[in-house]
Amino acid sequence: MPAQIIETNATPFAKIDIDPVTLDIIENALRNARIEMDATLVRTAMSPGIREQGDAFPMIADPSGKMIVGQFGSFIDGFLKGFDGTLEDGDMIFLSDPYSCEGAVSHSNDWLVLLPVFKDARLIAYTAMFGHQSDIGGSVPGSMPINASSIFEEGVRIPPVKIWKRGEYNEDLMRLVMHQTRKPDWCQADLNAIIASCRVAAKRIVEMADRFGDDVYVSATQELLARNHRAMKALIAMAVAEEPVSFTDYICDDGKGFGPYKITCTMHREGDKVILDFEGTDPQSAASINFFLNENMFKMFFGIYMIMVFDPQILFNDGFYDLIDVRIPEGSLLKPQFPAALSGRTHALGRIFDILGGLLGQKTPEFLNAAGFSSSPHLFYSGWDNRSGHEGEWFQLFQIGFGGIPGRPLGDGPDGHSLWPGFTNVPNEFLERYFPMRIERYSTEPDSGGAGLHRGGNGIHMTYRFLADGKIAIHDDRWFVPPWGVNGGLPGARAKKLLERADGSTTVVGNKVEDVEIKAGDRLHFITWGGGGWGDPLERDPETVGLEIRQGLVTPGGARDYGVVADEDGVIDADETEALRAELRASRGELPLFDYGPPIETLRETCTHETGLPAPKAPQWGPKTAAA
């Protein structure tokens, strides 16, 4: 049974016509309340992932659970469908199990707090936030085991429970949960920060309702939803054709030596409604790269992509969801069956954005983006600190890396940026202060962005020197299948990880590895991949290429992909450049809409030579799907 709302005053809200000034004031007050949620979080959390990087996602929703402002879209709907209980004034919900809320959170590291906001005994709103916990127990530090075959190996699973019930804190529950983690101090502080953020937003909502009246406040939220619906309806009619278009992209491997795994989506429009069908996507994996994709979450992905590409001034909310029909096959990589492992879902989550770009750009290539930084590379480092003053201290790092954003219609992709626009990097000074390591290099990787009229953003080259023995794990992708270019742009470079031992030997390590033994003095070169290029590289201004040589973003060898001949100082040889460009134009055919690089089979044949790693074997499906 769905959740029941217990209200002592069941009087419905009256619909009020909202004047533009009042609507604008309430809209901006809601935006500011969301910003205040973020500010509260980062000032009170402890883990680097939340405190420094902002890996948490706030939301303010209406009484039905539809997001009015936020970053990650509706996860309340999945919770309400799966929660067989009551919601009363003074309650607060806590959960992390994806299977208990239809994928509203997509792996157990994400702890979600949901606060129903009551005023005068009526439910007037919800506030919510989830954040990635650095450790929740399980078989490996960081709780994201690559080799996991079921969710039971990935740490504590929290079904929807009441952390607060009628205003009373469930201390025993928290003691039980924190007992499962290697970092209870971080987890407790981060959870308290999430709770405080939800309470701050709830306070602001009640203040708004007091100022304008409950009916005016709720009516304003409904008008904000309706306004978004009107805007998205117009954007869909402009950007989505009735004729079906399909797009396929791949997750390179599962960390067990199998891959690549295919994700396929077909899109068309029926009247005002967009149909997005993932038929053709591979079955669920036997490893942890499955992504339990909540349909409303994907609607959010679709909507925010549309808004960011076509009209960034639109307030993003959940008002348009009835305009989208999402179909995901059961037992597939995107709707795995319990108890499939989910902790490594980041790669598929990120790849969804590339697929959306490939779908939406086929009707309007001028708005097409290349493949971008569609993953969140993770580094885990843990052990016992043996430095003076730290003897016997357990340390544990979880860090999200950055890479190249794709070339875009309006310009180059940013170098070394996050997939999520609100994320920031962990400062090197923070890493060196709190962990036994030195950051010896933190720079963009030259030539890693795909060549184009608009260059793809370069990836990051980060060199860590480890100062204590321990273990590392790496979660990354785009090392086998390159990020594609568009409108004649070239693919970006692939990721690479090099481990340089203290004795001077260097080995290529995989992009999904764990339990790698590290000795003090070892160095890791963590190189992420670049974004694909946009447009004809031969149309790029040679002087811009020369400037980027001087800035260290492009090498003289890489400049030849633009048909530019230059020396180490970026000085252009105009005659040689003109001759090279003429030669390249004469030798190539029609520019492709998508440049994927070599076919998969060719990549398999050349993999070891080009990457230093063996090619992945054919995908390995999960046992639940095989039985079905």
Q: Tens digit of pLDDT for each residue in 105-123?
A: 899 999 999 999 999 999 9
pLDDT at 223 over 60: yes
pLDDT at 313 over 60: yes
- The answer to the question of residue 363 being in a domain is no
Same domain, 55 and 105: yes
User: Looking at residue 357, what is its pLDDT?
Assistant: 87
Same domain, 462 and 547: no
Same domain, 521 and 558: no
Torsion of CA 336, 337, 340, 341, to 10 degrees: 40
Same domain, 512 and 562: no
User: Looking at residue 358, what is its pLDDT?
Assistant: 92
Average the pLDDT over 38-65 and give the result: 91
- The answer to the question of residue 182 being in a domain is yes
Least confident of 32-41, 140-149, 615-624: 615-624
3-state secondary structure labels for all residues of 304-372: HHHHHHHCCCCCCCCCCHHHEEEECCCCECCECCCCCCCCCCHHHHHHHHHHHHHHHCCCCHHHCCCCC
**Predicted confidence band of residue 551 (pLDDT cuts 50, 70, 90):** very high
Q: Which domain holds residue 454?
A: 368-536+591-616
pLDDT at 420 over 80: no
The pLDDT tens digits for 256-290 are 999 999 999 999 999 999 999 999 999 999 999 99
- The answer to the question of residue 525 being in a domain is yes
On whether the CB atoms of residues 388 and 410 are closer than 8 A, the answer is: no
- The answer to the question of residue 256 being in a domain is no
Reference 414, options 384, 356, 369, 379; nearest CA is: 369
**Predicted confidence band of residue 303 (pLDDT cuts 50, 70, 90):** confident
User: Looking at residue 271, what is its pLDDT?
Assistant: 94
DSSP for residue 155: S
- The answer to the question of residue 500 being in a domain is yes
- Please enumerate in sequence order all residues whose Cβ is within 8 A of that of 342, keeping only pairs 6 or more positions apart, or say none: 98, 106, 107, 108, 151, 154, 288, 290, 291, 292, 336
- The answer to the question of residue 283 being in a domain is no
Which among 177, 207, 232 is the end of a domain?
232
User: Looking at residue 627, what is its pLDDT?
Assistant: 34
**Between 85 and 161, whose confidence is greater?**
161
User: Looking at residue 433, what is its pLDDT?
Assistant: 93
Same domain, 93 and 153: yes
Same domain, 72 and 28: yes
**Predicted confidence band of residue 73 (pLDDT cuts 50, 70, 90):** low
User: Looking at residue 628, what is its pLDDT?
Assistant: 37
- The answer to the question of residue 16 being in a domain is yes
The pLDDT tens digits for 168-190 are 999 999 999 999 999 999 999 99
Same domain, 500 and 557: no
pLDDT at 363 over 90: no
Q: What is the mean pLDDT of the chain?
A: 92
User: Looking at residue 72, what is its pLDDT?
Assistant: 67
In sign, the C-alpha dihedral spanning 606, 611, 614, 620 is negative
Same domain, 421 and 542: no
pLDDT at 7 over 70: no
Same domain, 428 and 560: no
Same domain, 476 and 570: no
- The answer to the question of residue 268 being in a domain is no
Same domain, 445 and 557: no
In sign, the C-alpha dihedral spanning 302, 308, 309, 313 is positive
- Please enumerate in sequence order all residues whose Cβ is within 8 A of that of 163, keeping only pairs 6 or more positions apart, or say none: 92, 93, 94, 113, 169, 170, 173, 174, 195
Q: How many domains does the chain have?
A: 3
Measure the CA–CA gap between 55 and 142, rounded to whole angstroms: 14
The pLDDT tens digits for 376-409 are 899 999 999 988 777 789 999 999 999 999 999 9
pLDDT at 626 over 80: no
Same domain, 456 and 565: no
User: Looking at residue 10, what is its pLDDT?
Assistant: 52
